[in-house]
Chain A
Amino acid sequence: MIKYIFLLFFSIFLLSGCGDELSTSTTDDSANITKSLLTGTWTAKCSDNTTGLASSKTVLVFSASGDNLTATTTNYSDKSCVSDNQSSVFTKKLKTLDLGSKTTTSQNQIINKFTAAVTDITLEPKTTSVSTSLNLSSFCGLTGWGSGTETSVAGLTCGSATYKSVNDSYFDIIQMNSEKTFIRLGNITNPASTGYPKTLYTQEYYK
């Protein structure tokens, strides 16, 4: 009889084997983005466009202690961003940048929201062939395009895009890696109802 009790004892012990008691902790080691950290020049790598016949490169400059942001995208007529082959320069100038607290996107990416006011949005053709082409199509409803001349497109509809007007509020999100070597901005073509982008662009900007 005692042997059956013994067997029962071990069986109960076996069945009660519920593994190791679990304790967990979660550490937030994401970068605490500050204007001070952002101040300076952040440059993206040259990226081919979808056709592979042209390329572009964007430079972000945070100035005035991080209050101002100028995003300059230079478009090239080759696929390697060779400076001699610049075709146009698109510039977005923002001021009174207000950095929000850390939050997450719907995809759980750790980001900070930020708002700013639009100072200006400009487009500058770099060659006569580009300016001629813009004039012929009355791009943005304008016909005064000239090579080397910066023209404001703020508040205008250019092709499929409508740009914000001067002093309009600008909503974006920003992510920085823990090592603080690069940042990413939001995909502004995919905004939520709040106005902030829902997702991040994969493009990284390195300091």
Chain B
Amino acid sequence: MKRFSFTLLSILFLSPMSLLAKSGSSEAGLFYSTSWGSGVMGGYNYTNEILLGGDFAAGDTSTESEGPGTSIKSESTFMTVNAFGRYYLRDLGITDGLFGQAGLAFRNWTGKGSIIDDRTQAKIASIKIDWSPVVIVTGVGWQKVWDFGLIFSVAMNASIGGSRTIEYTENMHRLSDSMKKDLEKKTDYPTNLVIYIGYSF
């Protein structure tokens, strides 16, 4: 089974790229991103080189951990609508399918967390995070389109121009600088790997 899968993947990736992604064609598919959740993406090939696209992604994370006599609970939700333009470098030989893209992402992201004393259920401290609703997203990636219309792409995106507000509330405990730095680092998503599988029509 493993050998079959490997052979199939080799054929798929080594086969010549089709010209299905040509002017006037469209595409749609599903994607997974390492930071922003998963969602649907669609696009229209305005020319052979230029694709106008949009996507919607949603995701959430929740964590629950135990400290010494405390419970730490956090949850974040991410909903993102992204409109972008993509430019393909079609005539670079082996790099055919390489693209760069830029666009605007409209975000509805929120995060909150609290530290609760296990014995008394008293709130020790809490955290609230808000992200700005609009951010510029740029990226580079590589796409492959097969004759039968299947599209695979992988891209690395970066967000620029956004802002994030973290509100710490201390009830019975002062949050240390190191704890704050750690949280700030973990809730920053400067880059985002996106893996996409779609269909060209």
CA distance A24 to B183 in the complex (A): 11
- Whether B100 lies near A6 (C-beta < 8 A) is yes
Q: What B residues does A177 contact at CB under 8 A?
A: 117, 120, 122-123, 171-172
Q: CB-CB contacts of B133-172 with A at 8 A, as 1s and 0s?
A: 0010011100000000000000011111011111111111
**B: number of interface residues (CB 8 Å):** 46
Docked-complex contact A21 and B168, CB < 8 angstroms: no
How far is it, in angstroms, between the C-alpha of A10 and the C-alpha of B101 when the chains are bound? Answer: 7
Chain A's interface size range is 35 or more
A20-B164 in contact (CB<8A): yes
CA A9 to CA B101, docked complex, whole Å: 10
B160 and A17 within 8 A (CB): yes
Of A24, A30, A178, which contacts B165 at CB under 8 A?
A: A24
What residues of B have a CB within 8 angstroms of the CB of A179 in the complex?
122-123
- CB of A11 closer than 8 Å to a CB of B: yes
Which of A34-42, A104-112, A114-122, A154-162 makes up part of the contact surface? A104-112
CB distance A29 to B170 under 8 Å? yes
Q: Would you give the shortest CB distance from B4 to chain A, in whole angstroms?
A: 36
A192 at the interface (CB under 8 A from B): no
Which residues of chain A are within 8 angstroms of B119 by Cβ–Cβ distance? 202, 204
User: Assuming A20-B163, A23-B165, A177-B122, is B89 touching A14 (CB within 8 A)?
Assistant: no
Partner-binding segment picked from B7-15, B38-46, B185-193? B185-193
Interface centre among A20, A110, A179, by most chain B C-beta atoms within 10 angstroms, is A20
* A194 sits at the interface (CB 8 A): no
Hey, which chain A residues are within 8 Å of B101, CB to CB? 10
B170 touches A26 (CB 8 A): yes
Q: How far is the CA of A65 from the CA of B117 in the complex (A)?
A: 30
Contact of A110 with B165 at beta-carbon distance under 8 Å, contacts A10-B140, A14-B156, A17-B160 already known: no
Closest Cβ of chain B to A198, distance in Å, is 15
Given contacts A17-B158, A24-B180, contact A30 B100 (CB under 8 A): no
Q: How far is the CB of B152 from chain A (nearest CB, A)?
A: 20
Write out the residue numbers on chain B whose beta carbons fall within 8 Å of the beta carbon of A24: 165-168, 180, 184
B52 within 8 Å of A (CB atoms):
no
Task: Specify the chain B residue showing the minimal Cβ separation from A176.
Answer: B172
> Is B78 close to A, CB under 8 A?
no
| Cβ B140 vs Cβ A20 within 8 A | no
B190 near A18 with CB under 8 A, answer yes
A23 to B119, CA, bound (A): 33
Residues of A within 8 A of B162 (CB): 19-21
Could you say which residues of chain B place their CB within 8 Å of the CB of A202?
69, 119
A51 at the interface (CB under 8 A from B): no
For the complex, what is the distance from the CA of A34 to the CA of B139, rounded to whole Å? 57
Is the beta-carbon distance between B171 and A16 smaller than 8 angstroms?
Answer: no
Contact indicator per residue, chain A 21-62, by CB within 8 Å of chain B (1) or not (0): 111111111100000000000000000000000000000000
The minimal Cβ–Cβ distance linking B189 to chain A, given in whole angstroms, is 7
* Bound CA span A15–B140, Å: 10
Query: Could you list some 19 contacts between A and B, CB below 8 A?
Result: A3-B91, A3-B92, A10-B139, A10-B140, A11-B100, A13-B158, A14-B140, A14-B156, A20-B189, A21-B164, A22-B163, A22-B166, A24-B167, A26-B175, A109-B173, A110-B170, A177-B117, A177-B122, A182-B120
Q: A6-B87, A16-B160, A177-B171 are in contact. List 17 more A-B contacts (CB 8 A).
A: A3-B92, A10-B139, A16-B158, A17-B138, A19-B188, A20-B162, A22-B163, A23-B163, A24-B165, A24-B168, A26-B167, A27-B168, A29-B169, A108-B173, A110-B171, A179-B122, A179-B123
Task: Give the A-binding residues of B (Cβ under 8 A).
Answer: 69, 87, 89, 91-92, 98, 100-102, 117, 119-120, 122-123, 131-132, 135, 138-140, 156-160, 162-176, 180, 184, 188-191
